[in-house]
Amino acid sequence: MGTDRLPTGIPSVDRLLGGGLETDSVTEVYGEGGSGKTLFCLEVAHRVARENRWVFYIDTEGVSVDRLRSMAGDGLEKLLKRFLLSTPKDLDEQTAAVRTACSLAREGRRAVGLLVVDSATAYYRLSLSGPGEDDARQALSLEISDLVLTALRAHVPVLITNQVWRSLRDGHLEPLGGSFLNHAAKTILFFERLPGPRRRVVLMKHRDRPEGSAEFRITERGLESAGSG
* Size of site (CB under 6 A) for ligand ATP: 13
Torsions phi, psi for 6 (to 5 deg): -105, 110
Residue 51 CB, nearest approach to ligand ATP (Å): 22
**Enclosing H/E stretch for 179:** helix 178-184
128: enclosing H helix or E strand: helix 122-128
CA distance 42 to 193: 18
* Residue 46 half-sphere exposure toward CB, CA atoms < 13 A: 24
The per-residue DSSP string of 20-86 comes to SEETTSEEEEEE-TTSSHHHHHHHHHHHHHHTT-EEEEEESSS-HHHHHHHHHGGGHHHHHTTEEEE
Q: If binding is defined by CB under 5 A, does position 162 make contact with Mg ion?
A: no
Give yes or no for a contact between 48 and 26, defined as CB atoms under 8 angstroms apart.
Answer: no
Minimal distance in Å, beta carbon 148 to ligand ATP?
Answer: 23
DSSP state of 3: P
Q: How far apart are CA 55 and CA 53, in angstroms?
A: 7
35 binds, among ligand ATP, Mg ion, none (CB under 5 to 8 A by kind): ligand ATP
66 binds, among Mg ion, ligand ATP, none (CB under 5 to 8 A by kind): none
Binding Mg ion by CB under 5 A: which of 12, 25, 38, 60?
38
CB of 219 to ligand ATP, least distance (A): 6
Q: 182 and 175 in contact (C-beta within 8 Å)? A: yes
Kindly state whether residue 220 participates in binding ligand ATP, applying the rule CB under 6 A.
Answer: yes
CB of 220 to ligand ATP, least distance (A): 5
Q: Does 47 bind ligand ATP (CB under 6 A)?
A: no
Range 39-98, binding Mg ion (CB under 5 A): none
Among the listed ranges 95-103, 124-132, 144-152, 217-225, the one in contact with ligand ATP (CB under 6 A) is 217-225
Q: Which of residues 175-204 bind ligand ATP (CB under 6 A)?
A: 197
**Residue ranges in 20-39 that form contacts with ligand ATP under rule CB under 6 A:** 31, 33-39
Residue 227: CB minimum distance to ligand ATP, A = 17
Residues at the site binding ligand ATP, with contacts judged by CB under 6 A: 31, 33-39, 61, 197, 218-220
